[in-house]
Amino acid sequence: MLICAASNNAGKLKELRRILERMGHQVKSLRELGIDLDPEETGTTFAENARIKAEAFCKASGLPTVADDSGLCVDALNGAPGVYSARYAGHHGDDAANNAKLLQEMQQVPAEQRTARFVSAVCFLMPDGRELLVEGECPGTVAFGETGTNGFGYDPLFVPDRVGLPDGTTVENTARRSYAELADGEKDAISHRGRAMEKLDAQLPAFLAQS
């Protein structure tokens, strides 16, 4: 199936394309489709924002569209930055500023209280208006400093509880590596976005058969 991957975030687009192509789909980015839109994310939940983006880009592309809204929810900060993860420091997509603010906010929080989870809501929308919404989570902790370069957003600060293995299983992250220190396969097997896309893959055949 030819799918529009609805993201202006280069890192997120890379992950969506990698996972969707592994599922057997052909993926077109917004740039490849000549679409220049930036819909306002006015939702109060990840699911609402994913739906807003899916609707805007599905209408613009005329293609089945996958949109994701995701973020980091930190227990010690009562779930912040949450849906405001991309603009936590005030400017949308400023990873360095967002990470710096998170470290500052967490400065006095001890290791045992730095639990957090990444959350991803994925909306698959057909041009006829039918939608499939799934969510995935990855539990972990917020580190005291950034490590790794194979990631984006809060990846250098987030230490997942588990990591993936080549056979698809997972093991405890005893080395305490951050998202940004993991290879693509190690991350996809346990990531919030990877888990949401697994649910999408499992539910998509029945969803499409309803047409």
Opening angle at CA 71, ends 97 and 175, nearest 5? 85
The strand pair at 158-160 and 131-142 is best described as: antiparallel
* Cis ω for the linkage preceding 205 (within 30 of 0): no
Which of 38, 68, 69, 94 is catalytic? The answer is 69
* Amino acid found at 118: F
* Amino acid found at 183: A
Dihedral (CA of 102, 108, 111, 116) sign? negative
Contacts of 164 (CB under 8 A, 6+ apart): 170, 182, 185, 186, 187, 188, 189, 190
69 is catalytic: yes
Active-site residue numbers? 69
